[in-house]
Amino acid sequence: MTAGEDKTAGERMHALVRRLYPICRSITGDGVRRTLEIVGESIPLRVSEVPTGTEVLDWTVPREWNIRDAYVKDPSGRRVVDFNASNLHVVGYSVPVSATMTLDELRGHLHTLPDQPGLVPYRTSYYAETWGFCLSQETLDGMGPGPYEVVIDSTLRDGHLTYGECVVPGETADEVIVSCHTCHPSLANDNLAGIAVAVELARRLAAGGTPRHTYRFLFMPGTIGAITWLARNRERTGRIRHGIVLACAGDGGTLTYKRSRRGDAVIDRAAAHVLGDRPHTILDFSPYGYDERQFGSPGFDLPVGGLTRTTYAGYPEYHTSGDDPDFVLPEAMADTLGALEEIVEILDGDRRYLNLSPYGEPQLGRRGLYGSLGGRSDTEQAQMAMLWVLNLSDGEHGLLDIAQRSGLPFATVADAARALVGAGLLKEKVT
């Protein structure tokens, strides 16, 4: 991307984050549906509804939760805690409540962050029926003995789990999956920045001609969504060649890649090659974090890594009201998108070739393959790329192998291979 394209893409993604931010999402419910409706305005999206009670691997699709209003009113009638002010104020999946309580009676249902007294925490209780409110410690410190009117106007009943898929068809049925989660309420970096980056990447791939792989973008609730998708698509998992889970994609930290369970899959090596030109961190796989752990469960063992900026729970605003749209930076999302596009370029461009003149170095000058301007660094780099490609094109080394071994950019190596094919010195090895 050019600087102008970076800026435009960043602004477009940030606008989507701002638009999605007020919606109350959870692992099920109308907030997820509304989020997918908005995503579907930018990219073609197929939405699936999976009924409550459906067995999905070792899990069962839960009941659907929706909420209309919730508050804690003090004796004067003022809403001390108000769902309409922030959907983080209610513990996710809270059952309905209508009661009058003293502060002492209410206190066991109140959640704060004493070490961050100005922030509201994000809490959920998906699989145990309870209720609660989240508020700042400062608000709690200012509350008197009561009594308080306590209302949660919610429903928890049989319904559906909802997820969306966008497929960008490729030249082959081999798939690359890009997954992000849709289950968090007003949290801008975790999860909306990942959604925005995935939407922009899907839009660009669809507009850029037919890619080599088929790209499948998954927008689904964390954990139970990935488990549900895997349970319903077991026959498709054999086509998945590469995958990446996106989260925390817009904060000001540097990029972090978490390796797949395999540790040395092509996606792991491609990400490491791209991030090598940027400040970055690479982490080994662990069975904790986002949905890379579901795709990497031993029965599937899919080559799916994770891409974030600052890591899971690695910034003070994580899972708090501090994770708002102002915390997310357009330029950071553009940088995440740029790295993903380079990774995609490698996944689609990595091929193996055979040197058709393998005995000694072929004469490149008479074929017009040496640049006419000596001394330029890009010319020297291009010439070195040709020599590396010729030397390692034995049918066993791919272009990513060559780029890693030579220390040259993948794009430069791929350009050299195309030039050598055009000169009749290489042919692609068909597997």
**Is there a binding annotation on residue 190?**
yes
Instruction: Please answer whether residues 197 and 150 qualify as being in contact, where contact means their C-beta atoms are separated by less than 8 angstroms.
Output: no
Report the amino acid identity of residue 138. Answer: E
Instruction: Please answer whether residues 224 and 279 qualify as being in contact, where contact means their C-beta atoms are separated by less than 8 angstroms.
Output: no
d(CA 322, CA 121) in angstroms, rounded, equals 9
Instruction: Please answer whether residues 27 and 64 qualify as being in contact, where contact means their C-beta atoms are separated by less than 8 angstroms.
Output: no
Number of other residues whose CB lies within 10 A of the CB of residue 374: 9
- Kind of pairing between the strands at 426-428 and 352-355: antiparallel
SS (H, E, C) the chain: CCHHHHHHHHHHHHHHHHHHCCCCCCCCCHHHHHHHHHHCCCCCCEEEEEECCCEECCEECCCEEEEEEEEEECCCCCEEEECCCCHHHECECCCCEEEEECHHHHHHHEECCCCCCCCCECCECCCCCCCCEECCHHHHHCCCCCCEEEEEEEEEECCEEEEEEEEECCCCCCEEEEEEECCCCCCHHHHHHHHHHHHHHHHHHHHCCCCCCEEEEEEECCCHHHHHHHHHCCCCHHHEEEEEEECCCCCCCCEEEECCCCCCCHHHHHHHHHHCCCCEEEECCCCCCCCHHHHCCCCCCCCEEEEECCCCCCCCCCCECCCCHHHCCHHHHHHHHHHHHHHHHHHHHCCEEEECCCCCCCCCHHHCCCCCCCCCHHHHHHHHHHHHHHHHCEEEEEHHHHHHHHCCCHHHHHHHHHHHHHCCCEEECCC
The radius of gyration of the chain's CA atoms, rounded to the nearest angstrom, is: 25
Could you give phi then psi for residue 63, rounded to 5 degrees?
Answer: -70, 155
d(CA 334, CA 327) in angstroms, rounded, equals 15
**Is there a binding annotation on residue 319?**
yes
List the binding residues for Zn(2+).
184, 190, 319
List the binding residues.
184, 190, 319
